[in-house]
């Protein structure tokens, strides 16, 4: 049974929300980040990049976190942020320029459910990163990035979302990347109780994106007596709302092999066929390879696929077990500098250019992993290979803020 509760968000006024909300700062180049900081005094990027305001780069994490908190407090003092008067759920919809639309509920998910296994994971987290973000939360006193959780479609939740989507929005704005954002407040007591009861009928939730954020919240909850730290701000969307995109692989070199020798070794474990043009893999166990200005279809031979293990039968694991490790010596995909990752939102033409320009030697294109495969891995307590999935929607920071100190 999932425990999801409403909360009093700290959030921008209607007239400033489009200026405040930002993508993850990691998604901006240094040049664009600097431009946004110079030209937009309201962007949330000022809060998470306080070095810009002090005109001096801060290298100590604890000092930087204190500056983040100071800048956040200044946004509240200036009236850029205000806190809701009562606990609310928030229905949030994002419509991408490519036609993809996502809608779900933002609430606070119980850390206890994460600790007892009712909120399931499919990735292992890095302890150092957990501790760092825990210290960030502890020092700043707020969380501005909800974890993305998914759940099996639930009729009552679907109905209430649909009903609110027909009413006037609290926020409605477009961003420079042509995405549309809408948000509705759910502050009616009866509707709040209905949402809480409906989620309580769902046995398990699954983390789609944000494993480190939830792990860090769990660490903080163990060290704090504040009731708000017992929950983690989360964006909950039904399984049919998720879009799982592939993560493709780029090779810096071929471990001193020629292209022909590399292909010869691949043929031992894959059925290899040259194709006339760029190909998105679609068949079972199929991936595609671009090398030396040619595209190839690769289908793993049955004897080299472990069908009994929920992880080993996935395309990223098959690739690692049969090509990356034995042929190229890449046994640690997460940290090996010879291997790079590019998510499936980038075109095959862009991948081709990266190889043709000699930035990389070759590229592997993989199929997206299904939500059922993700759930199977999570249900069996296993972990996906690094960079197996790129999951949408990606949320904006600063639109809703969860107060950890109240």
The 10s digit of each residue's pLDDT in 81-138 is 999 999 999 999 999 888 889 999 999 999 999 999 999 999 988 899 999 999 999 9
Structure tokens at 64: 């930087």
Q: Give residue 62's pLDDT.
A: 86
Q: Kindly give, in sequence order, each residue whose CB lies less than 8 Å from that of residue 31, ignoring residues fewer than 6 positions away.
A: none
- Using 50 as the pLDDT threshold, list the residues of the chain that sit under it: none
Structure tokens at 303: 């004897």
Rg (CA), the chain: 23
Q: Give residue 1's pLDDT.
A: 81
Report the C-alpha dihedral over residues 21, 25, 26, 27, rounded to 10 degrees: 50
Across the strands, what pairs with 174? 180
Q: Give residue 60's pLDDT.
A: 80
Name the class of domain 247-367: alpha beta
Q: What is the DSSP string of 196-253?
A: HHHHHT---EEEEE-HHHHHHHHHHHHH---GGGGEEEEEEEEGGG-EEE-EEEEES-
Q: 397: which DSSP letter? A: B
Q: Residue 36: is the preceding peptide bond cis (ω within 30°)?
A: no
pLDDT tens digit sequence for 286-306: 999 999 999 999 999 999 999
Q: How far apart are the two ends of the chain, measured CA to CA in Å? A: 26
Q: Where are the domains of the chain?
A: 4-244+392-403, 247-367
SS3 317: helix
């Amino acid at each position: 049974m999932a425990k999801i509760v409403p909360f009093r968000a700290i959030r921008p006024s209607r007239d400033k929300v489009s200026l405040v909300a930002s993508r993850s700062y990691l998604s901006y180049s240094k040049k664009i980040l600097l431009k946004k900081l110079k030209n937009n005094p309201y962007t949330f990027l000022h809060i998470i990049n306080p070095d810009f305001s002090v005109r001096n780069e801060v290298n100590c994490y604890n000092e930087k976190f204190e500056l983040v908190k100071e800048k956040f407090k200044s946004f509240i003092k200036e009236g850029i942020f205000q806190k809701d008067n009562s606990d609310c759920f928030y229905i949030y919809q994002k419509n991408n320029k490519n036609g993809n639309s996502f809608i779900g509920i933002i609430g606070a998910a119980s850390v206890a459910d994460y600790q007892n296994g009712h909120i399931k994971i499919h990735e292992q987290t890095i302890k150092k990163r957990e501790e760092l973000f825990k210290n960030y939360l502890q020092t700043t006193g707020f969380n501005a990035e909800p974890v993305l959780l998914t759940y099996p479609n639930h009729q009552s939740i679907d109905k209430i979302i649909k009903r609110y989507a027909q009413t006037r929005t609290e926020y409605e704005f477009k961003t420079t990347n042509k995405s549309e954002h809408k948000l509705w407040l759910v502050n009616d007591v009866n509707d709040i109780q209905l949402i809480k009861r409906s989620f309580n009928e769902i046995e398990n939730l699954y983390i789609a994106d944000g494993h480190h954020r939830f792990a860090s919240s769990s660490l903080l909850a163990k060290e704090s007596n504040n009731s708000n730290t017992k929950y983690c701000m989360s964006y909950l969307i039904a399984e049919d709302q998720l879009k799982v995109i592939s993560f493709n692989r780029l090779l810096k070199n071929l471990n001193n092999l020629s292209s022909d020798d590399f292909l010869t070794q691949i043929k031992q474990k894959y059925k290899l066929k040259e194709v006339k043009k760029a190909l998105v893999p679609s068949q079972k166990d199929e991936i595609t390879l671009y090398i030396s200005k040619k595209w190839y279809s690769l289908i793993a031979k049955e004897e080299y696929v472990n069908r009994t293990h929920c992880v080993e039968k996935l395309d990223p694991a098959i690739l690692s077990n049969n090509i990356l490790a034995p042929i190229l010596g890449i046994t640690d995909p997460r940290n090996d500098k010879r291997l790079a990752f590019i998510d499936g939102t980038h075109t095959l033409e862009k991948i081709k250019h990266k190889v043709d320009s000699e930035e990389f030697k070759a590229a592997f294109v993989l199929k997206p992993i299904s939500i059922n495969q993700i759930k199977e891995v999570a249900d069996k307590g296993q972990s996906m290979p690094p960079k197996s999935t790129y999951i949408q929607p990606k949320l904006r920071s600063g639109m809703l803020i969860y107060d950890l100190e109240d």
